[in-house]
Amino acid sequence: MPQVTVKLDAALDDHIQSAIDRGETKSRDRYIEDALRDRYLRDLQRQKLHESLDRAIADADAGRVTPLEEAFDRILSDLEK
């Protein structure tokens, strides 16, 4: 597994040590790995959201939309079933 050296300011180091002391994580390495994984997953979610928005905008620009009243009528009809 690749290794990386990380330099932290005192406040961040204290924060991580507090998390260790509270039993929230086992080590500095684990804390940083978990934080990076969370950031990675958040970035992936953000990317998927942007892709979805891009598709929605392209659909709207191409006229592939449903008028609001028609959409509400469909929803109400489905709820009444």
Is residue 59 within 8 A of residue 65, CB to CB? The reply is yes
CB 49, CB 57: distance < 8 Å: no
The arithmetic mean of pLDDT across residues 11-31, rounded, is: 98
2 alpha carbon, distance to own chain's centre:
25
Is residue 67 in some structural domain? Answer: yes
Q: Does 56 fall in a domain? A: yes
Q: How many domains does the chain have?
A: 1
Task: Find the mean pLDDT for residues 1-30.
Answer: 96
Beta-carbon contacts of 66 under 8 Å, excluding residues fewer than 6 positions away, are 74
Residue 75 lies in a domain: yes
- Note if the pTM is more than 0.75: no
The answer to whether residue 2 sits within a structural domain is no
Segment 25-78, tens digit of pLDDT = 999 999 999 999 999 999 999 999 999 999 999 999 999 999 999 999 999 999
Residue 63 domain boundaries? 10-80
State how far the alpha carbon of 1 is from the alpha carbons of 4, 14, 44, 54, 57, in Å.
10, 26, 22, 36, 41
pLDDT exceeds cutoff 90 at 1: no
Residue 3 in any domain: the answer is: no
